[in-house]
Chain A
Amino acid sequence: MHWGTMISTTVGALLTLAVFSFLYKDNPFYKFAEHLMVGVSAGYWVVILYYTVFVPNVVGKLQAGQWYYLIPAVLGLLMWARLTRKWSWVSRYPLAFYLGIATGVAIPLEMKAKIIEQLNGSVDLVTQMYSAQAGWATVVNNILILIGVISGLIYFFFSKAHTGATGGVAKLGIGILMIGFGASFGFTVMARVSLLIERLQFLLFDWLHWY
Chain B
Amino acid sequence: MALWDKMFAIDRRWVYLALGLSVLISLKIPFSIPVPVSKEARNIYNFVDTLKAGDAVHLAIDYDPSTLAELHPMTLSILKQCFEKKIKVVITALHQNGPGMAAEAIDTAVARHLARTGEKKINGVDYVFLGYKPYPSLIILGMGQNYRIPFPTDYYNVPLDSLPMMKKIQNYNNVKAILNISGTSATDYWITYGNGRYRVPLAIGVTGVMATDYYPYWQTGQIFGILGGLKGAAEYETLVGTPGKAVDGMKVQMVAHLIIIVFILVGNIGYFAERKRRGQETL
Contacts and interface: CB of A to CB of B under 8 A. Distances in A.
Please say whether the chains A and B touch (CB closer than 8 A): yes
A187 interface: yes
A187 B27 contact: no
Given A105-B137, A198-B68, A200-B24, A120 B132 contact: no
A194 B230 contact: yes
Interface in B138-166: 138, 141, 150-153, 155, 157
A106 B155 CA distance: 28
Nearest to A110: B192
Place the interface of chain A in its size category.
35 or more
Contact of A198 (B69, B100, B137, B229): B69
Interface of A: 23-24, 41, 44-45, 48-49, 51-53, 55-57, 60-61, 98, 101-102, 105-106, 109-110, 112-114, 117-118, 120-121, 124, 180, 183-184, 187-201, 204, 210
A117 B207 CA distance: 24
Contacts of A24: 13
Contacts of B262: none
Interface residues of B, number: 61
Given A45-B96, A201-B249, A180 B212 contact: yes
A198 B192 contact: no
B118 interface: no
A191 B216 contact: no
A117 B209 contact: no
Given A105-B138, A121-B216, A194-B69, A187 B152 contact: no
B253 A101 contact: no
B191 interface: yes
B100 A44 contact: yes
A135 B97 CA distance: 48
Given A45-B96, A55-B157, A189-B260, A102 B152 contact: no
Given A48-B99, A56-B153, A200-B23, A193 B196 contact: no
Contacts of B252: 193, 197
B62 interface: no
**Chain A contact residues: helix, strand, loop or mixed:** helix
Contact of A117 (B211, B222, B229): B222
A121 B223 CA distance: 12
The B interface, classified by DSSP as helix, strand, loop or mixed, is: helix
A202 to B, nearest CB: 9
Contacts of A201: 27, 245, 248-249
A117 B220 contact: yes
Given A193-B23, A200-B24, 18 more contacts: A44-B97, A48-B132, A51-B157, A52-B157, A56-B152, A61-B152, A102-B137, A102-B138, A105-B141, A109-B192, A113-B222, A118-B220, A191-B207, A195-B66, A196-B20, A197-B249, A197-B252, A198-B68
B208 interface: yes
B63 interface: no
A187 B212 contact: yes
Nearest to B149: A57
Contacts of A190: 208, 229-231, 253, 257
B260 A184 contact: no
A200 B212 CA distance: 26
A69 to B, nearest CB: 11
B228 A187 contact: yes
A41 B256 CA distance: 31
10 contacts: A45-B96, A52-B157, A55-B157, A106-B137, A112-B192, A117-B222, A193-B23, A193-B230, A193-B257, A198-B68
B220 A187 contact: no
B208 A187 contact: yes
Contacts of B235: none
A101 B138 contact: yes
